[in-house]
Amino acid sequence: MTSSLREEKAARPAASDDGRIRYARFTTPPGPGPARAVLARVTRVLDRLDGDDTRLFDAPGPRGRRRIAVATVASLVVFALLAAAAVRQFAAHGQLDPAKWQLFAQWPVIRYLLVSLWATVQVTVVSGLIALPLGALLALARLSGNSLLSRFAALYVEVLRAVPLLLLIYAFLLGLPAVGLRLPLFWQLVWPIVLTNAAVFAEIFRSGVRALPAGQTEAAHALGFGHWQCLRLVLLPQAVRQTAPALVGQLVRLLKDSTLGYVVSFLELLNAAKVLGEFNHSVIQSYLVVALVYVVVNLALAHTATRLERRLGNRRREPGPGTVATP
């Protein structure tokens, strides 16, 4: 679908070209200059970046094109003004002082950030590795014929999805010592994340199984498969395939959840930013740099998710309004 839109867009200028364009082409020196190739490339990249919602409007006429040009210039001016205002605000309070930024080019600071990024990754990976099988188990329990098991799983999933992670973290932080249990800081952060995310993973798995056509189950039963055989050999392999992008998307959420280490003073990336900022009097710079790191890591993960989606080839399913990734 995407490719057909692209072709249409590419075909449009040719169809609507008037004398001016031909004249321009006539006067340009032979052989496409590198500038034009660069321009075409930039346009392609921009096209990929800003999505394909162009089907909402016709190819604009002369008046429409003029209006769009005016709006383009106006919006560029507004963005420039906003950027200028931001820079001025930063400069007026001495936050553009090179010393405050050069800090992040020094190896000790970079190493400190890398170590804390490693801690963030550790929290993410460890909680993902525990939460994923736990979620699968919960989904299996919920799909099992046993009403007691499935009720318990349903209750767990519904409650844990409706309780804020922060509340759970505080409960572990303040509640466990009260009953005489002492966990290391790392696990005090990981367990609440595991418990909430297992519920989310369970829902992802279950929706994956439920999205499969009923014919699959019926066919398996007709072939004499039992409930578990059907689940193990027919439904689960397909469900895992279909939900793989959603699972990777959930990993992004897990990574974001790990910032709550800030609350339990576990030294992950956000907490490191706080320490750096307070120590070097570069609060806003540290948070901005760390935000940038999160953006880079998460965009890489999201990119993996889209590639996975393309490779697993469920392109035939048009994403509905309900499939937007919730935070």
Distance CA 60, CA 66 (A): 9
CA distances from 77 to 28, 47, 226 (A): 31, 22, 67
Report the site for other proteins in 269-288 (rule: CB under 8 A): 270, 273-274, 277, 283-284, 287-288
Candidates 42, 167, 185, 233; binder of other proteins (CB under 8 A) is 167
> At closest approach, how far in Å is the CB of 24 from other proteins?
21
State yes or no: residue 3 binds other proteins (CB under 8 A): no
Q: How far apart are CA 327 and CA 256, in angstroms?
A: 9
- Choosing from 35, 148, 181, 324, the residue that interacts with other proteins (CB under 8 A) is 324
Binding range to other proteins, per CB under 8 A, among 21-29, 183-191, 248-256, 306-314: 248-256
Minimum Å distance from CB 184 to other proteins? 19
Residues 86-105 that bind other proteins (CB under 8 A): 89-90, 92-93, 95
Which residues ranging from 95 to 154 are in contact with other proteins (CB under 8 A)?
A: 95
Among 83, 166, 185, 233, binds other proteins (CB under 8 A): 166
d(CA 139, CA 147) in angstroms, rounded, equals 13
Rounded Cα gap, residues 325 and 24, in angstroms:
46
Q: Considering the rule CB under 8 A, would residue 58 count as an interface residue with other proteins?
A: yes
Collapsing DSSP to helix, strand or coil, 130 comes out as: helix
Are 257 and 320 spatial neighbours (Cβ–Cβ below 8 Å)? no
Cβ distance to other proteins smaller for residue 26 or 57: 57
Is residue 55 near other proteins by the rule CB under 8 A?
yes
Q: Cβ atoms within 10 A of the Cβ of 189, count?
A: 28
Site for other proteins contains 317 (CB under 8 A) = no
Is 16 near other proteins (CB under 8 A)?
Answer: no
User: Which of 202, 206, 232, 207 is CA-nearest to residue 217?
Assistant: 232
Shortest distance in whole angstroms from residue 284 CB to other proteins: 4
Cα distance between residue 159 and residue 168, in whole Å: 12
